[in-house]
Structure 1
Amino acid sequence: MSASKWTVAPHQIFQRCRVDRRDQAAFVGKLAIAAMLGVIGVALVVTATTIGLVTGIVLLGALYTHLVELQHQCLHHSAFVAPGRHRPVGVLLGLPLLVSYSHYRVRHLQHHRFLGTDRDSEFFGFDTRQPLTVRTLLGGLFDFRRLLSVAVQCYRSWRGTWRYDDGQSSERIRRDSMVEYRLISLLVLAAGVAALAGYGMLVVQLWLAPLLLVAIPLHFLVELPEHVRCDNDTTDVLRNTRSISGSRFTTWYTNGNNLHVEHHAAMTVPINRLPERHGEVRLLGKYVDHSYWSFYRQVLREVVANSRRPSRRRLDEIS
């Protein structure tokens, strides 16, 4: 980075602001679009045509990922004017991807607090400090181990033994998380009952296939750029986090997750206000990419380079 970038002091990036009625209306509009897409996805699946079925599965899977990004805004209480609305809406948004709102919230806020330190850990578990290899990428894309973890959390919740295992949390968080994991287990049970009643194929087409084949891999791709290949040994948000300019579509689909420096600099700012801060981040941020494709190309180049290193070491040993 050129030294001239650091001659300009941040002005707007770290400014906080409260949610107002316009911000709330913007978020409600996103919820309405998501509901419409859900209806379209279901309609496509039940058309009984191959093209409609495949399109519907992809659309529903992409929607489930989008819902978690909307849930992320609820975690920060930056969607509604009344704070009490965030949890009920956030809980529902996380159900298709089996995400507990309260558990996610306490760990995600901890991520914000400890980013750039040894205590940083994200809810979805991909370690951005590990080398990028084919194995680590595939492990992130198809992180089905998280589903086993969810099953364990559900079991502990029904037994009343659930505890937050990555730091301190309140008794209220414990109770709320147990309620949400019980709700998740009831959803899974309802899907099982529907399958036994003869609707198993619909359960697969409307939920399991979109979840396993589309939503989980796509969610990983959305979250991967946030901090990977950044300076993970500093607490400076202008160096440990990446923003992607992207397009209107990617900004909408990721619910502003592409503007991640802006978000970490002032995490309670409503997502719809982040684009107005992006110009300053482009000037001051160390890691700002033009598009997701440009970022993924960098990742692929690093994966290829890392895959060649063991072969080079073996050649050196032979010689």
Structure 2
Amino acid sequence: MYCEAGEPGSSERAGDGWHGRSHEPELLYQRARVAAGDERVFVGKLCVVAVLILLGGFAALSGNWLAMAAGFVVLGGVYTHAVELQHQCLHHSAFTAARRHRIAGIPLGIPLLVSYSHYRVRHLQHHKYLGTSQDSEFFGFDTRQPLTFRMLLRGLFDYGRLLVVLREIVRSYRGTWTYDLGPIADHRRRQILSEYRLMGTFIGTAAALSAVGFGEYVLKLWVIPLAVGIPLHFLVELPEHILCDTDTSDVLRNTRSIKGSWFTTWFTNGNNLHVEHHAAMAVPINRLRERHAEVERFGKYVERTYLGFFHRVLSEARRNTKARP
């Protein structure tokens, strides 16, 4: 049973009195290989992305301001959605052949300037070390710190990340790029360097097009949607572990799931079913919904809607902000 945020037992299932579960879930932790049907589902999602980019681009380039604004939002949303599809590729849970994941994953991250291989290394470490002091996600909002409006605004408008990406690109061209969280294989480092150099080529091409008179296209099809996509992506990532138990490796306590609607499940590419994902990270995203009933029964942090979750976040930020001297 779900409760709305703010009611007893809403996000914390049984509040401070949650003491665990009578027995372990049976399906939640089961592994599953990618089947041909799962691959077809993912390819279908890629086709939807292509169609939405065309529609959003057409609207963004129209002369009508209302249509242009809608186009910017659609493109920013699609670029955000693409990173969530890239996230599935990181886990090799989209295609039956492993090598296809990087082929698809690289272009999915280009609009928001996210390196597939760098993200993959860092994100798999996040899965390994979640609930420990070694946990460090690729997108640097620290969910272990007290939540305040200042922290939320800093994460929401984290345009400084673009400067970090530019630094990584420069280091990659110089050959001085290094991984900051431990050793990685030489071939992985070469992949990361090549991807940041590809981003440099993409940015350079955009600059060249702008210089020869196509700046309006670059601005409307990429720059403005990028500015929209960064806060949208933050809102997608925020629910995963914020206000959960940070001192345990138990995925039923350190991670949140949101039942959500068909739209939020599609837009986040199943990121709302995050307990399910962390329990068995290589399971195809389209198969996580069948495991939600067990999360609903055994999970400590489960929400019905995103609206309920954000209500809880704003209430916590308000309380912490008032408590600060």
TM-score w.r.t. structure 1 length?
Answer: 0.95
Q: Which residue of 1 aligns with 2:262?
A: 248
Between the aligned partners of 1:74 and 1:164, the Cα distance in structure 2 is 21
Distance 1:77 1:293 in 2: 31
CA distance in 1 between counterparts of 2:62 and 2:223 reads: 18
1:1-319 equivalences in 2 (<5 Å):
1=14, 6-212=21-227, 214-310=228-324, 313=325
**Secondary structure in structure 2 of the residue aligned to 1:7:** coil
Q: Which has the higher helix share?
A: 1
Over aligned residues, Cα RMSD in angstroms?
A: 1.0
Alignment partners' CA distance in 1, 2:235 and 2:244: 16
**Take 2:122 and 2:148, find their aligned partners in 1: how far apart are those partners?**
26
Quote the Cα distance in structure 2 between the aligned partners of 1:125 and 1:183: 23
Aligned to 2:4: none
Query: Between the two proteins, what is the percent identity of the paired residues?
Result: 57
Answer whether contact 1:116 1:233 (CA < 8 A) is retained.
Answer: yes
Q: Which amino acid aligns with 2:128?
A: R
Counterpart of 1:171, as a letter, is: D
- CA separation in 1, counterparts of 2:218 and 2:68? 13
CA distance in 1, matches of 2:123, 2:18: 33
Query: What corresponds to 1:316 in structure 2?
Result: none
Question: Following TM superposition, by how much is the alpha carbon of 1:8 offset from its aligned partner in structure 2, in angstroms?
Answer: 3.2
8 A Cα contact 2:143 2:243, kept in partner: yes
The whole-number CA distance in structure 2 between the counterparts of 1:77 and 1:248 is 23
Shift of 1:193: 0.5
- Aligned counterparts of 2:83 and 2:52: Cα–Cα separation in 1: 15
Give the partner amino acid of 1:236.
D
CA distance in 2, matches of 1:240, 1:183: 36
Residue 141 of structure 2 contacts residue 155 of structure 2 at CA under 8 Å; is this kept in 1?
yes
Q: Matches of 1:102 and 1:90 in 2, distance apart? A: 9
Q: For structure 2, which runs of at least 5 residues remain unmatched after alignment?
A: 1-13
Structure 1: state its 5+ residue gaps: 314-319
Deviation per residue, 1:157-212 (Å, 9 max, x gap): 11111111112211111000000000001100011001111111221111111111
AA aligned opposite 1:170: A
Give the Cα separation in 1 of the matches to 2:183 and 2:119. 14
1-side partners of 2:322 and 2:153: how far apart? 17
Aligned to 2:3: none
Higher relative contact order (CA 8 A, sep 6+): 2
The residue that corresponds to 2:6 in the other structure is: none
Aligned mates of 2:187, 2:298 — CA distance in 1 = 40
Please report how far the alpha carbon of residue 44 of structure 1 lies from its aligned counterpart in structure 2 after TM superposition.
0.5
Alpha-carbon distance in 2 for matches of 1:35, 1:285: 36
For residues 278-306 of structure 1, the C-alpha deviation after alignment (integer angstroms, 9 at most, x for no partner) is: 00000000000001110000010011111
The separation in 1 between residues aligned to 2:243 and 2:321, in whole angstroms, is 17
2:21 counterpart SS class: helix
Could you say what secondary structure the match of 1:73 adopts? helix
TM-score (norm 2): 0.94
Provide the secondary structure at the position in 2 that maps to 1:64: helix
Corresponding letter in the other structure for 1:270: P
Q: In structure 2, give the amino acid aligned to 1:303.
A: A
Tell me, yes or no, if the aligned pair for 1:5 and 1:283 is still in contact at 8 Å.
Answer: no
Q: Distance in 1 between matches of 2:182 and 2:248?
A: 21
Instruction: Describe the SS at the equivalent of 1:239.
Output: helix
Per-residue CA deviation, residues 120-152 of structure 1 (Å, 9 max, x unaligned), is: 000011100111111101110011111111011
